[in-house]
């Protein structure tokens, strides 16, 4: 084996082996064992980043004669593998505490290791088929983890729903992959060539785009991500915020050079629509995790939009920063949920995820509070935080794209950038609302005397690391310059990054204004002591149609249900059709065959056999006559002899 | 002495031949068949003698004497075979002597 192959094998196998060993050895030392798999893997991942600086690690082998397969870890892959390892490691740490009382903790860590390995496989894969395989493995392990508490029917159903929605989108990816490998003959991600414009290229591009949209929970597939919140909260942090949902964005970044302009424009539009719709949905949720889920969809919409608009560097940057602050938000939310859960786990009707039961938690969870605020401000796009940098990059990229495209006759291009800016206003509103409702104000429900129960040191580490990662300084030196990402020149070379034109300055000022304005709006509505804050405990499912629309997430889930319900109706109709018509046809065909064959049998017996029998009878008769001559009796033969003699004599006479 | 015309001889000979032939064809006993054969032979001899009347060299009569001698020898052999058959198969019925058929 070559050196790159050894690296790739190691980096893939460590989490998988750790997971398998943890699963097999039972729940006793589960968290420690799984960390034993993760830590060496993380070291190798760090080494891979160093290695990829000089040259990409490429492994190619002949899978079938004349058919090459391959892995490739270039700088982008290496950095993202490092990111996956980092977040996964932190989530492992956090889970050790979060699930310490769960009997099936070894199953949990087994699945987590399996997921990490599949995710890394996806990032390391170069051949489209490998990408597809790991894509499905990632989806499958996500399904396993969402349904971790499978005894709860609701959660098992949620896992299935999330899985099924992904399957629909994966059909698109499969079409794209098949077209890329067989028709277009571009099976390797690392060597895609674009610029062609044929029907097949458009079709393959749309297929790949649909697959990516499904995995990244973009409209119209976005409904699965809120459902995925049924899984344990650390899982949501790892899979449904930082890594797996970013796989779609990763794929889009990879295939962006290949995609044709119509596909890219569609991508940008869908990203903007998703970002806006999800941000609106996040405004009215009561579930602490659902707010974050919709927020994730919204931020992924930003990334997808950025790729569509050609600002994929900014999108990758946003993927990076988002992984930190969103994982931080989820883990902090997990700490809150865990706290409330241990507090009230005797009451079965109590919902530890409902924000109506929270409030004023900053006194009992000060550390979590600070982490949540840092990550929340990063999400809202305030300067000095990481989210501001990457979001500004995307916004200015989209703005430039809109200027460019509207000049070329795309009248809707400005709608895309406008939606992006509106979303930038909505983001601080919903996250500000959440911070105020969860941590500030007076405690709601019966949590009058809250015991001070801050998470243990082990849990603080992930929150600390992720919060620090959400600050500007670890990402770029200049807190206002979107192009100043440390990794920017490492990943894209010197050509990357937006310039410093007036658009960038305007974007910067506008996004600061929007972030501050949004936070101010949320403070006005939900400040401690305000009417909404005090009455929030009694808040019901909203009655007005537009609030209801956002609360239900634009009814996407109902639409899925309706669609699948109609499928069932169609299937039932098809079943009746099958029974009545097709079965009847088949039966009729059977009966007519029997009748026909009976008739054939009669013909066979009477005519064909009759002929044969007639011939046989004829020969038997003739033979019978002639055997009588040969009777074996001397006198008979003599009689014949005499007769023949007579005949001969008479013949010669006449 | 008036000559008896040849036709009479021939008619007698034909009668003898037909009687012999009938005996050969009808009778089941091998001895009768032999007698039938003798009759037919003698019919032929009669023909020879009758025709030699009109032949100055008397070839026909000589031939007839040969024929009688050979017929005697043949009858002796045939009777010997017949006797052996009777001893072996306990029958002289021709219908029962059909071992060659199978």
For A281-310, how does the pLDDT look when each residue is reduced to its tens digit (9 = 90+)? 888 888 888 889 999 999 999 999 998 888
Q: Is A89 exposed, middle or buried (0-12, 13-18, 19+ CB in 10 A)?
A: buried
Residue of B24, B26, B100 with shortest CB distance to A632: B100
Query: pLDDT at residue B102 above 60?
Result: no
Conformational region of residue A56, where left means phi above 0, alpha means psi within -120 to 50, and beta covers everything else: beta
Radius of gyration for chain B, computed over Cα atoms and rounded to the nearest angstrom: 17
The encoded tokens of residue A539 equal: 């808040």
Using the beta-carbon criterion (under 8 Å), do B25 and A639 form an inter-chain contact?
yes
DSSP state of A454: P
Q: Cα(A20)–Cα(A434) distance, rounded to whole angstroms?
A: 38
Write out pLDDT tens, residues B18-34: 999 999 888 888 889 89
Q: What is the DSSP letter of B93?
A: B
CB contacts, 8 Å: B92 with chain A: none
Q: How far, in Å, CA of A316 to CA of A304, rounded?
A: 10
CA separation for the pair A521, A558 (Å, rounded): 31
Interface mutation target, options A627, A630, A635, chain B, most CBs of B under 10 Å: A635
Say which range, A28-32, A237-241, B63-67, B71-75, has the weakest mean pLDDT: A28-32
Burial A91-128 (b: 16+ CB within 10 A, else e): bbbbbbbbbeebebbbbbbbbbbbbbbbbbbbbbbbbb
Residue located via tokens 């979590």: A368
Contact B101 A631 (CB under 8 A): yes
Nearest CA in chain A to B100: A632
pLDDT of residue A446: 56
What pLDDT shows up at residue A650? 93
What pLDDT is stored for residue A621 in this prediction? 92
Please indicate if any CB of chain A lies within 8 Å of the CB of B25: yes
- Cα–Cα distance between A240 and A227 in angstroms, integer? 10
B98 CB neighbours in chain A (<8 A) are: 632-633
User: Nearest chain B Cα to A627, which residue?
Assistant: B101
A633 CB neighbours in chain B (<8 A) are 94-95, 98
* pLDDT attached to residue B68: 92
Residue A338 CB neighbours (<10 A): 23
Return the closest-CA partner of residue A231 out of A147, A299, A343, A313. Answer: A147
Chain B residues in contact with A642 by the CB 8 A cut-off are 21, 25
CA distance A460 to A94: 8
Total length of chain B: 102
Q: Is B4 exposed, middle or buried (0-12, 13-18, 19+ CB in 10 A)?
A: exposed
A627, A628, A629, A632: best to mutate for the B interface, most B CBs within 10 A: A632
| Chain A positions touching chain B (beta carbons under 8 Å) | 631-635, 638-639, 642
Helix (H, G, I), strand (E, B) or coil at A562: helix
How far does A636 lie from chain B, in Å, by closest CA? 8
Closest by CA position to A194, among listed A175, A208, A210: A208
What is chain A's alpha carbon radius of gyration, rounded to the nearest angstrom?
Answer: 37
Query: What are the residue ranges in chain A where pLDDT is below 70?
Result: 1, 343-350, 445-457, 482-484, 493-500, 537-543
**Confidence at residue A471, expressed as pLDDT on a 0 to 100 scale:** 83
Q: What's chain A's length in residues?
A: 654
Does B51 score more than 80 pLDDT? yes
Q: Per-residue pLDDT averaged across B70-84, rounded? A: 92
A204-255 tens-digit pLDDT: 888 999 999 988 888 888 888 888 888 888 888 888 777 888 888 999 888 8
Instruction: Tell me what pLDDT residue A69 has.
Output: 85
Asked if A216 and A175 count as a contact pair (C-beta separation under 8 A), the reply is no
Distances (CA, A) of A94 to A259, A417, A459: 39, 38, 5
How many angstroms separate the CA atoms of A17 and A542, rounded?
48
Strand partners for A58: A72
Across the interface, which of A633, A639, A642 has its CB nearest the CB of B95? A633
What is the distance between the alpha carbons of residues A10 and A23, in angstroms, rounded to a whole number? Answer: 19
The torsion region of residue A360 among left (phi > 0), alpha (psi -120 to 50) and beta comes to left
The H or E element that residue A71 is part of is: strand A67-73
Residue of A nearest to B23 (CA): A635
Chain B residue numbers with beta carbons less than 8 Å from the beta carbon of A634 are: 94, 97
Number of H helices, E strands in chain B: 3, 0
Residue with tokens 């032939």: B21
The half-sphere exposure of A166 on its side-chain side, counting CA atoms within 13 A, is 27
CB neighbour burial string for A272-293, b if at least 16 within 10 angstroms, e if fewer: bbbbbbbbbbbbbbbbbbbbbb
Interface A-B, measured as beta-carbon pairs within 8 A, has a size of 22
The Cα angle at residue A275 between residues A274 and A277, in degrees rounded to 5:
60
Q: Which token pair is A166?
A: 């992904």
> Can you list the positions of beta strands (E) in chain B?
none
Q: Give the residue from chain B lying closest to A633, CA to CA.
A: B95
Segment 62-101 of chain B within 8 Å of chain A by CB = 94-95, 97-98, 100-101
Least CB-CB distance to A635: which of B94, B100, B101? B94
Helix A634-653 vs helix A609-629: angle between axes, to the nearest 10 degrees? 90
* Helical (H) or strand (E) element with A59: strand A57-64
Beta strands in A137-179 (DSSP E): none
Contacts with A230 (C-beta within 8 Å, 6 or more apart), sequence order = A146, A147, A149, A152, A154, A155, A158, A159
Chain segment A495-525, per-residue pLDDT in tens: 544 555 777 788 888 888 888 888 888 888 8
Q: Residues of B with CB below 8 A from A631's CB?
A: 101
Q: Is A197 helix (H, G, I), strand (E, B) or coil?
A: coil
A402, containing H or E segment: helix A386-407
């Amino acid at each position: 084996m070559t050196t790159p192959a050894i690296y790739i094998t190691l980096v893939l196998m460590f989490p998988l082996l750790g997971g398998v060993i943890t699963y097999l050895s039972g729940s006793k030392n589960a968290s420690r064992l799984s960390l034993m798999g993760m830590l060496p893997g993380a070291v190798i991942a760090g080494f891979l980043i160093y290695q990829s600086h000089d040259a990409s690690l490429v492994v190619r082998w002949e899978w079938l004669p004349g058919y090459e397969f391959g892995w490739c870890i270039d700088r982008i892959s290496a950095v993202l593998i490092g990111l996956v390892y980092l977040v996964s490691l932190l989530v492992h740490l956090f889970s050790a505490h979060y699930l310490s009382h769960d009997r099936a903790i070894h199953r949990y860590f087994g699945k987590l290791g399996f997921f990490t390995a599949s995710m890394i496989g996806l990032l390391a894969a170069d051949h489209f088929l490998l990408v597809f395989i790991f894509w499905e493995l990632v989806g499958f392990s996500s399904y396993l983890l969402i349904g971790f508490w499978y005894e709860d029917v609701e959660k098992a159903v949620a896992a299935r729903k999330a899985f099924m929605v992904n399957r629909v989108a994966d059909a698109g990816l499969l079409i794209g992959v098949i077209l890329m490998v067989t028709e277009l003959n571009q099976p390797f991600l690392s060597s895609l060539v674009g610029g062609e414009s044929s029907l097949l290229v458009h079709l393959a591009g749309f297929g790949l785009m649909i697959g990516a949209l499904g995995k990244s929970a973009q409209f119209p597939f976005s409904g699965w991500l809120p459902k995925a919140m049924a899984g344990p909260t650390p899982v949501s942090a790892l899979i449904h915020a930082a890594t797996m949902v970013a796989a779609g964005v990763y794929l889009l970044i990879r295939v962006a050079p290949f995609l044709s302009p119509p596909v890219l424009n569609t991508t940008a539009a869908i990203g903007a629509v998703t970002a806006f719709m999800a941000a609106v949905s996040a405004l009215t949720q009561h579930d602490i995790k659902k707010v974050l889920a919709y927020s994730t969809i919204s931020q992924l919409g930003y990334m997808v939009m950025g790729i569509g608009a050609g600002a994929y560097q900014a999108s990758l940057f946003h993927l990076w920063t988002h992984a930190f602050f969103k994982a931080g938000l989820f883990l902090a939310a997990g700490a809150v949920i865990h706290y409330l859960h241990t507090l009230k786990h005797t009451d079965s009707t109590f919902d530890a995820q409902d924000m109506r039961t929270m409030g004023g938690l900053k006194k009992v969870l000060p550390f979590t509070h600070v982490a949540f605020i840092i990550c929340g401000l990063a999400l809202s796009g305030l300067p000095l935080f990481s989210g501001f940098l990457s979001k500004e990059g995307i916004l200015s990229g989209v703005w430039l794209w809109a200027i460019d495209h509207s000049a070329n006759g795309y009248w809707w291009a400005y709608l895309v950038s406008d939606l992006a800016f509106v979303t930038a206003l909505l983001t601080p509103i919903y996250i500000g609302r959440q911070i105020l409702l969860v941590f500030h104000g007076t405690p709601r429900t019966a949590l009058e005397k809250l015991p001070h129960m801050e998470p243990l040191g082990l849990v603080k580490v992930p929150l600390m690391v992720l919060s620090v990662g959400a600050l500007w300084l670890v990402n770029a030196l200049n807190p206002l310059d979107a192009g100043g990402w440390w990794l920017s020149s490492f990943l894209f070379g010197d050509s990357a990054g937006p310039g410093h034109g007036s658009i960038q300055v305007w974007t910067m000022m506008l996004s600061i204004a929007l972030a501050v304005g949004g936070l101010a709006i949320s403070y006005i509505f939900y400040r401690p002591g305000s009417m909404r804050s005090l009455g929030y405990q009694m808040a019901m499912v909203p009655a007005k149609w537009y609030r209801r629309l956002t609360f239900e997430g634009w009814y996407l889930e109902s639409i899925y249900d309706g669609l699948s319900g109609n499928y069932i109706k169609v299937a039932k109709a098809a079943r009746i059709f099958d029974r009545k018509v097709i079965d009847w046809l088949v039966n009729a065909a059977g009966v007519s065959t029997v009748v026909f064959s009976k008739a054939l049998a009669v013909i066979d017996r009477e005519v064909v056999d009759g002929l044969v029998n007639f011939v046989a009878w004829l020969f038997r008769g003739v033979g019978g006559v002639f055997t009588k001559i040969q009777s074996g009796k001397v006198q008979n033969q003599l009689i014949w002899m005499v007769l023949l003699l007579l005949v001969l004599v008479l013949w010669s006479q006449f | 002495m008036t000559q008896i015309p040849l036709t009479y001889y021939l008619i007698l000979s034909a009668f003898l031949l037909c009687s012999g032939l009938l005996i050969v064809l009808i009778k089941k006993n091998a001895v009768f068949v032999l007698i039938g054969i003798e009759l037919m032979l003698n019919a032929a001899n009669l023909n020879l003698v009758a025709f030699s009347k009109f032949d100055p060299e008397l070839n026909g009569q000589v031939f007839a004497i040969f024929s009688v001698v050979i017929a005697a020898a043949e009858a002796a052999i045939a009777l010997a075979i017949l006797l052996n058959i009777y001893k072996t198969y306990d029958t002289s019925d021709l219908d029962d002597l059909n071992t060659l058929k199978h």
